[in-house]
Amino acid sequence: MIPTFTTKRLTIRPFSLNDAESFHRNYAADESNHKYYAAPVYTLAKIRYLIEYWEIRQKRGGEARWAIENNSNHEVIGIIALYFNKQSLSGEVCFGIGKEYWGSGLMREALDELFRYGFNTLKLEKIIAACDVRNKRAVGVIKKCGMSYEKTVQEDCSECCYFNIYKRVNTLKQKMEDSSGSMPNSV
């Protein structure tokens, strides 16, 4: 069972077919949201198919995808996923949010919840993220979440940079945020 997370501004929950239209409108249909990713701009019919497909894959285990819902208007504005291996205690996070919401801090909010889930519930020790080196916004969000640069690798038609965060680093980050209400820039 894939859990639901609620923050001040977001509900991060499993996708349902009812999400297809708002996900398509706010994220999947806009080319600028896919500039650095292999994912194409999808039709509404393809989105419906993918939501059903994701549900089947998630039942097999090892992956989970969530709709990112804006609490102020109840629209699905993005996606976040975690692929994980319980034997190796590691995971990889993937994410995307509609252009209208770039720079708002919403993706960091969603990632922080996903890290809590990965480290505290799934008991993962390490989570990685990868993105095209040209995607400065994604790199910025990843760094703001406390992830550390690992390496850059040539993949297909672009260079991907890899970042990681370990459970002990994330636990320290959470303790500091809980005590001060925010995270110092130097960490």
The C-alpha atoms of residue 88 and residue 53 are separated, in whole angstroms, by 26
pLDDT (0 to 100) of residue 29: 85
Distance (Å, whole) CA 26 – CA 23: 5
Domains of the chain: 5-130 (3.40.630.30)
Q: Mean pLDDT, the chain, as a whole number?
A: 89
pLDDT tens-digit map of 59-78: 999 999 999 999 999 999 99
Nearest to 109 by CA among 3, 1, 4, 6: 6
Which residue carries 């319980």 as its tokens? Answer: 86
pLDDT tens, position by position, 71-104: 999 999 999 999 999 899 999 999 999 999 999 9
3-state helix/strand/coil string of 26-48: HHHCCHHHHCCCCCCCCCHHHHH
Cβ distance 96 to 27 under 8 Å?
A: yes
**Neighbour order of strands in the sheet with 158-166:** 5-6, 10-14, 63-70, 75-85, 90-97, 126-132, 158-166, 148-155
pLDDT in tens, 124-171: 999 999 999 999 999 999 999 999 999 999 987 789 999 999 997 666
Indicate the pTM of the whole model: 0.87
